[in-house]
Amino acid sequence: MTPEEASSKDNLERRAALHCLNFSEKFIRERSWQNAVTWLKQAIKIQPDLYEAHYLLGQAYIELGLLEEAIETLDQAIRLRPDDPTAHFKLGLAYIARHDWNAALGQYRSLRTLDRVVAKQLFDKIVFSFNYEMFDSLFNQIY
């Protein structure tokens, strides 16, 4: 295969992956998470290093309550772009949903070096969720 043919094939694959990504965003706007997952998986299959697809797939998994899948997918997004705070924030939210406070705090620590404003937003969510869980537990014991 000539360099021109390889470049043309890479360009075609990138365009196909971006098409899948664009289609998934339509379903995300409609909150049709399962359809979004289908298109995002296809985008990743075509172009495994497409950060946006991994990030959005992690978000869709959170919405579907598939926390283990969300964590795995967001970890991959972070490996692709370690300095992007958005994936760290979403991963922190997945850990909060799983009530894994230590892992959520680990994402907070990572975010402090990347974006202090986003780090504070995650910390506030950790504290609120932790306190809410404690309150809910105490309330259920009383009644």
pLDDT, one tens digit for every residue, the chain (143 residues): 665 655 666 788 999 999 999 999 999 999 999 999 999 999 999 999 999 999 999 999 999 999 999 999 999 999 999 999 999 999 999 999 999 999 999 999 999 999 999 999 999 999 888 876 665 554 455 45
- CATH number of the domain that 57 lies in? 1.25.40.10
**Cα separation of 96 and 121, whole Å?**
13
38 and 104 part of one domain: no
Domain end residue (candidates: 28, 58, 81) = 81
Position of tokens 């172009």? Answer: 47
109 and 125 part of one domain: yes
**Cα separation of 63 and 11, whole Å?**
32
Burial of 138 (0-12, 13-18, 19+ CB in 10 A): exposed
* Domain assignment of residue 37, given as a range: 1-81
Of 95, 92, 120, the closest CA to residue 107 belongs to 92
29 and 62 part of one domain: yes
Report the pLDDT value the prediction gives residue 130, as an integer from 0 to 100.
80
72 and 93 part of one domain: no
Q: How many domains does the chain have?
A: 2
100 and 77 part of one domain: no
